[in-house]
Structure 1
Amino acid sequence: MIVGVLRETAPRESRVALTPEGVRKLSTAGLQVVVEEGAGRGAGFGDSAYRASGALVVADRATVFERAGIVAWVKPPAFELDSMPLRAGTTLLGFQDPHYRRDEIDRLRGLGVESVAFDLVPRDDTTTEIDALSTMSRIAGAVGYAEGRKLLTPQVRARPVRALVLGCGVAGLAAIAAASTFDDEKPTAIGNRPEQETAALAAGAGRFVPNQDDNAALLDHLATTPPDLIVCTAVHRGSHAPRLLDHGSLDLLAPGTVIVDLVAKAGGNCVATVPDSTVTLPNGVVVTHRSNYPTARAEAASQAYAAATAAMILRIVQRQS
């Protein structure tokens, strides 16, 4: 089996799907690895390091597709996959954005090309080594909080920021914990299950508010304790994100409030979110999203992602043998 690693083409993406250490792990298992030239440069891994680990470095992505039976990426390519020499039996591994790319994934399957989505790996004790989504979400939660904080006015940043975190999964807990690194107020956490309270408080939340489908608890909190910063992380993997901040909710917020929606690729928690954009609403509320917050910590994120990539490839190969 030959494994291919692409140079990322998504905007502002500097991670890489497989590091030299990941290549070494696959080489030790008897697999060959083909890496597109410059694939690891943005994360601090040069072509010479890949060659030293046993990979063949090739000049263009078409050669990767020609040779590899498994092609790994971080984000779906910006180029048209139909422009590549795809063949039946190829497996495409990485984040697949299934909410937006479902039709393309189905079409490729009809051509005999399978798409393995890290987005859909279940989070349980049997999948921890291949759970790239959790490791990336943890980084995204921390980075999203920090970058959202930068968008606040200098006057607000000069005092302890009051934050609200929607969702108590991995990203939400990381966002809660990030508040303490800035000496901000302990955030309020909004969850849909009372049992999430323990984890939220342990991560550093000052208060946990259980919210039901009618959003009454969230609306009450927005009306009585207006936040400076809202970090949206509420989504069940593989599902559409619940719309928690509608137009009525946004009307309750003060000018200058910043909303960071980390789940825009799943539809978003906020009605005003525009994927990969920062917009200012007529009432002065700022809503921002970026699809690759972990790229701000490209080397560490790539190492964590590559560990999941290597483990998943070994699992795929084992099942095919």
Structure 2
Amino acid sequence: MSRLIAGVLRETAADERRVAVTPADVMRLAAAGLPVVVQTGAGIGAGFDDRAYERAGARLVAEPALVFDAADLIAWVKPPVYQLDSLPLREGQVLIGFQDPIARAEPIAWLRERGVESVAFEQVPGDSGSDTDALSAMSRIAGAIAYTEGRGLLAQELREKPVRTLVLGCGHAGLAAVTAAARHGDAVIAVGHRAAHRDIAIRHGAGRFALDSEIPALLARERIDVVICAAVRRGVRAPVLLGAPELAALPPGAVVVDLAGKAGGNCVATVLHTTVTVPGGVIVTHRSNYPAREPVAASHAYSAAVAAMLLSRTL
């Protein structure tokens, strides 16, 4: 059996600054007997220049087609914006990274028919303690950044008052948002779909906990300034928790940050990759790459999961 080769693509999604594999992990992979081909410029957004990859032992190539031509295991952070059918695909290749499996179900099936496997980090079990769980690491970064962005979208006069933050979801992103809000001194209410979430939400800084069935009543009686939507399970559509009545109950100037947008969204007014103001003056925003705001830390965390996945494929 011939030796496998790993490939690392330069990211093409808008505003994406992360890289799938850092130079340190290229060195780790090479030491384990897995050669790595890297597209030139792949690490620039995260502060890793081409020379760093060469020193780590990678072979640099200029075009994505050359990565696909050389590599058996190909890593990215987000799916390329170009069409994969224009590249030298071959049976047995494995594409590793975030795959957006709900929106990209059709191209993933097309690739499978041609013998190309798509390994989605969105579908790696999150409760197994696996080294390959990239989604949990990215979710923790995203939750904290989403809170900061949401608070920053409040009008100045609202930011100067005590801010009341509602966090929907008690997974990694939601709990990170709870912690960030609590550290900022906000009054934080965490929402989960099971009463068992209460203790962990309180440990992360929530002042109160509510079940998702209580959202309408909660919004009817209390002013909420920022809502962080992070209620989603891997591989399935997110539940809509903020419908039209719930949005109407929020005060003018309130901000909703929907981290679940790529899975359908927790908010009925979410528009992917867009910030909108709905009737009543509520701001609803979504972006899918909050971790790209911290590309160095995010790349190191993501790369560790990719390297673990790549090595698992060579055993």
TM range (shorter): over 0.9
The reply to whether residue 55 of structure 1 matches residue 58 of structure 2 is: yes
Distance in structure 2 (CA, Å) of the matches to 1:243 and 1:45 = 40
Query: Number of paired residues?
Result: 312
1:301 matched to 2:301: no
The TM-score, its normalising length taken from structure 2, stands at 0.98
- Deviation string, structure 1 residues 37-78 (Cα, Å, up to 9, x no partner): 000000011111100111011111110010000110001111
CA distance in structure 1 between the partners assigned to 2:60 and 2:239 by the alignment: 43
Pick aligned residue for 1:119 from 105, 122, 142: 122
1:34 paired with 2:42, answer no
Kindly indicate whether the alpha-carbon contact (under 8 Å) linking 2:99 and 2:120 is maintained by their aligned counterparts in 1: yes
Q: State the identity %.
A: 55
Q: Shift in Å at residue 182 of structure 1?
A: 2.2
Aligned with residue 46 of structure 1, among 46, 49, 59: 49
Match of 2:104 in 1: 101
* CA deviation map 1:210-253 (0-9, x unaligned): 23xxx3x1100011112100000001111110011111111111
Question: CA shift at 1:161, angstroms?
Answer: 1.2
Residue of 286, 289, 293 corresponding to 1:292: 289
Which residue of 237, 255, 259 maps to 1:258? 255
Could you say which residue in structure 2 is the equivalent of 1:2?
A: 5
- The corresponding residue for 1:170 is 172
**Secondary structure, in 3 states, of the residue corresponding to 1:14?**
coil
Structure 2: give runs of 5+ residues left out of the alignment: none
Q: Does 1:22 align with 2:25?
A: yes
Question: Secondary structure of 2:109's match?
Answer: helix
Measured on the aligned residues, the alpha-carbon RMSD in Å equals 0.8
The Cα of 1:181 is off from its aligned counterpart by: 3.4
Q: Which deviations, in whole Å up to 9, do the C-alpha atoms of 1:116-164 show, x marking residues without a partner?
A: 000000112352x110000000000000000111110000111221100
In structure 2, the residue matched to 1:242 is 239
Structure 1: gaps spanning 5 or more residues? none
1:190 maps to 191
What is residue 74 of structure 2 aligned with on the other side? 71
C-alpha separation in 1, matches of 2:136 and 2:123: 11
- Matched residue type, 1:306: S
Deviation at residue 84 of structure 1 after TM alignment: 1.2
CA distance in 2, matches of 1:84, 1:53: 27
Instruction: Give 3-state SS (helix, strand or coil) of 1:204's partner.
Output: coil
Aligned to 1:164, the other structure's residue is in SS state: strand
Residue identity opposite 2:266 in structure 1 = N
Between the aligned partners of 2:109 and 2:313, the Cα distance in structure 1 is: 20
Once the two structures are superposed, residues 182-202 of structure 1 have per-residue CA deviations (whole angstroms, 9 ceiling, x without a partner) of: 2222x1001011111111000
For the 8 Å contact 2:182–2:206, the answer to whether it is kept is no
Q: 1:147 aligns to what SS in structure 2?
A: helix
- Distance (Å, rounded) in 1 between the aligned partners of 2:105 and 2:314: 25
Aligned 1:130-169 pairs, distance under 5 A: 130-169=132-171
Alpha-carbon separation, structure 2, partners of 1:291 and 1:17 = 16
C-alpha contact (below 8 Å) 2:134/2:305 kept by paired residues: yes
Match of 1:274 among 266, 271, 275: 271
TM-score normalised to structure 1 length: 0.96
CA distance in 2, matches of 1:20, 1:110: 33
